[in-house]
Chain A
Amino acid sequence: QVQLVQSGAEVKKPGASLKVSCNPSGYTFTDYWIHWIRQAPGQGLEWLGWIDPKSGDTFYAQKFQGWVTMTRDTSISSTSLELRNLKSGDTAVYYCARGVVTPGVTGSRRLDYWGQGTPVTVSS
């Protein structure tokens, strides 16, 4: 079955960098984009961007451009989210999710499977 397994919880100091990994299984890794979403404590969902595991192409929400990088390693079927110069406001649970579209069906884009989430705490 499809699973996205993420790396474990992290505690970082302000100004540090962080890398969160997402390891999909149960399907062909290069067939589907991976999206990254975060959720601050008690808050809603915020979309960061996507990566195409086949090409390595990425797209970041404007807010995250310049300090977020998404990468993939096809040899181990893994994707990563790197955040630099962390601030306390980056404290959140970070999720990866698989992006799917049904060919020829209008409106069929969705995030159908999600990782379990990686809690990140930024505190001095």
Chain B
Amino acid sequence: DIQLTQSPSFLSASVGDRVTITCRASQGISNYLAWYQQRPGKAPELLIYGASTLHVGVPSRFSGSGSGTEFTLTISALQPEDFATYYCQQLNSFPRTFGQGTKVEFK
């Protein structure tokens, strides 16, 4: 199975901050990587797929990059509704594994 390791696991930030989350894969997955946002008590929501393509309706302050084994999710200017947990998922092979999550908390 492909392992995904996110860093950091927790992140304290303020509104307006630039935030970057990293996802590393245990083997190459090309650009078969998606990012999801999960707010407390809610289902995950798709943000980005193909490592860098924004899902419809997702604000442009979110961006993704990377290929192979290293990927990043960047929020250019954190908004109050962005305090949530973020997960990466690889869709290169089965099983479709997820990273352990990164919780973005209010500083």
Contact = CB atoms under 8 A, between A and B. Distances in A.
A29 interface: no
B76 interface: no
Tell which of A46, A107, A115, A117 has the most Cβ of chain B within 10 Å: A107
Interface residues of B, number: 26
A112 B46 CA distance: 6
Interface string A16-52: 0000000000000000000101000000111101000
Instruction: State the majority secondary structure of interface residues on B.
Output: loop
A108 B95 contact: no
Interface string B63-107: 000000000000000000000000101010011111111000000
Interface string A90-109: 00000101000000011111
Contacts of A46: 98
A107 B32 CA distance: 4
A107 B44 contact: no
Interface of B: 30-34, 36, 43-46, 49-51, 53, 55, 87, 89, 91, 94-101
